[in-house]
Structure 1
Amino acid sequence: MKKNDLSGFTGDQLKQQISEEKDRLLKLKFAHAITPIENPKRITETRKTIARLSTALSSSK
């Protein structure tokens, strides 16, 4: 998800998207701890997405 994709989201939508991404990150971490996942880069990408969403949320206030 890029910065340009976030321009149409409202504050509530951003909060919902952040919680969904945090859940996804948690599941990825658990899956990777049990057995290594195919693409561990997805964990990093998910963290970056959460950071982008949080930044967009704080700048929209």
Structure 2
Amino acid sequence: MKAEELRKLTDDELKDKLTELKKKLMNLRFQNAVGGLEKPSEIKATKRDIARILTILRERELSKAGGE
């Protein structure tokens, strides 16, 4: 998912997406440990999506704090 698409979402939607991606990452890691994944690059992509969401949430938090 691109950062541009994520920036259009609200904070609550981003937090929901973050929870969903963390669950997906846990499942991917489990599948990889048990039997291997067809596309191990999915783990890397999911981790990057999580990082993007956390970055956007932090940017918004800092902009709110700076605006006060």
TM-score (norm 2): 0.85
Tell me, in whole angstroms, the C-alpha distance in 1 between the residues paired with 2:36 and 2:60.
37
4+ residue stretches of structure 1 with deviation over 2 A? Answer: none
Tell me, in whole angstroms, the C-alpha distance in 2 between the residues paired with 1:7 and 1:24.
21
Larger Rg: 2
Task: Give the aligned partner of residue 41 of structure 1.
Answer: 41
TM-score (norm 1): 0.94
Structure 2 gaps, min length 5 = 62-68
Count residues with an aligned counterpart: 61
1:52 paired to 2:52? yes
Pairing of 1:14-29 with structure 2 (within 5 A): 14-29=14-29
Equivalent AA in structure 1 for residue 10 of structure 2: T
CA shift at 1:60, angstroms? 1.4
Looking at both structures, which has the greater relative contact order when contacts are Cα pairs under 8 Å and sequence separation is at least 6?
A: 1
SS at match of 1:60: helix
Structure 1 gaps, min length 5 = none
Give the root-mean-square deviation of aligned CA atoms: 0.7
